[in-house]
Amino acid sequence: MTEAYIYDAVRTPRGKGRNDGSLHEVTSVRLSTTVMNALKERNNLEGHAVEDVIWGNVTQVKEQGGCLARTAVLASDLDESIPGLAINRFCASGMEAVNLAANQVKGGAGQAYIAGGVEMMGRVPMGSDGAAIAVDPTVAMEQYFVPQGISADIIATEYGFTRDQADALAMESQRRAKAAWDDNRFAKSIVSVKDINGLNILDHDEYMRPATDMQSLGGLKPAFKEQGEIMPGFDKIALMKYPHLEAINHIHHAGNSSGIVDGSAGVLIGNKEFGEQYGIKPRARIRQTCKIGLDPTIMLTGPVPATQKILTDAGMSISDIDLFEVNEAFASVVLRFQQAFDVDPELVNVNGGSIAMGHPLGATGAIIIGTLLDELERSDKEVGLATLCIASGMGAATIIERV
């Protein structure tokens, strides 16, 4: 089978959105074209250089509807002969786009792809698509649906994680993110967002709160306690599914959960011949990909079975992995991953994660693959694994290896 290589990976900084950030006049199409144009320019691509653009996006309504991938291609500097495919695997949409592209290349369906995703959460609010899993009682009741914050607290309760543990992980994420920015570790991948006059309006991750400490986190109220205990009482639904828990321990709040932000990211993937044609060197090969389904109520434990599956499929063990990127949707997700595999926390999310920098849903999967690649190169390590939890009970993972 043909090898699939990563030739380049870029992302926009993550902005805080229309209400309190700098991107109030920027659309999801604009963020997408910023990334697509950067990949074209940086790699001197011409004409029908890539077979397709596969673009992840979760809330596919309004300006993010109507096959955003194709709209962005037409609005970009890419050739109109390149089609576009919009996909949605919730929080792993950007990763799934990369994985689909890699497997298309491996299967011989074209020499190269641009893959990634976008989410403009400040303009198209999360949940505004009215997903059936949440609003259709014939589905929601049968599947014991609860919101993701409740699921995160279920994980904390089931696996014994405390508020202090979650807050400590959040504080460390902030510290690492600041250190990474101070050390210019993201410089290779960051593409600034510009206004119509070509002036930078976003050149760093806006969401970070580097002054965060345990005291400031300790003053925050649990975000999902009332939702669980009072109205609409999702704890009762959770306890119907998991009666052995007796009560849900609500430990998550705004400071140890991922931030609502805007962002886009893209990865250029191709075979060996593609690189030779355009005179560019591959940076890594995509060694293995996977996706998995699991319990839709606890929902966010996907990184554990996804990692187990991808390691088995690749014939590898956890000790073969040098670095890990585990999306910080909530602190308990990462704590559970570290607990399950007994991995050194110093190898997980080395440069911070979504708690510190935000989680633009459709883009994050591609963001963490690019971040992982940059860090493998910076630290001169070889193999990395990226993984995400996914709404409604799924998980996804990607293993990359430097070449």
Residue 97 pLDDT level (bands cut at 50, 70, 90): very high
DSSP letter for 18, please: T
Written as one string, the DSSP assignment of 314-363 is HT--GGG-SEEEE--SBHHHHHHHHHHHT--GGGBSTT--HHHH---TTT
pLDDT at 100 over 90: yes
DSSP letter for 14, please: P
pLDDT at 198: 86
User: Which pLDDT tens digit goes with each residue over 13-33?
Assistant: 999 865 555 566 789 999 999
User: Which pLDDT tens digit goes with each residue over 205-232?
Assistant: 999 999 999 999 999 999 999 999 997 7
Task: Report the alpha-carbon distance of residue 202 to residue 200 in Å, rounded.
Answer: 6
CB 360 within 8 A of CB 261: yes
**Residue 98: alpha-carbon gap to chain centroid:** 11
Percent of the chain with pLDDT over 70: 98
pLDDT at 197: 85
Helical (H) or strand (E) element with 387: strand 383-390
pLDDT at 256: 98
pLDDT at 231: 75
pLDDT at 1: 77
Question: Cis ω on the peptide bond leading into residue 232 (within 30° of 0)?
Answer: yes
Tell whether pTM > 0.75. Answer: yes
pLDDT at 135: 87
Task: Report the alpha-carbon distance of residue 219 to residue 126 in Å, rounded.
Answer: 26
User: Which pLDDT tens digit goes with each residue over 309-357?
Assistant: 999 999 999 999 999 999 999 999 999 999 999 999 999 999 999 999 9
Which residues are paired to 112 by β-bridges?
270
Mean pLDDT of 390-400: 98
pLDDT at 40: 98
Q: Which residues form the catalytic set?
A: 91, 359, 389
Higher pLDDT, 248 or 198: 248
Burial class (CB in 10 A: 0-12, 13-18, 19+), 391: buried
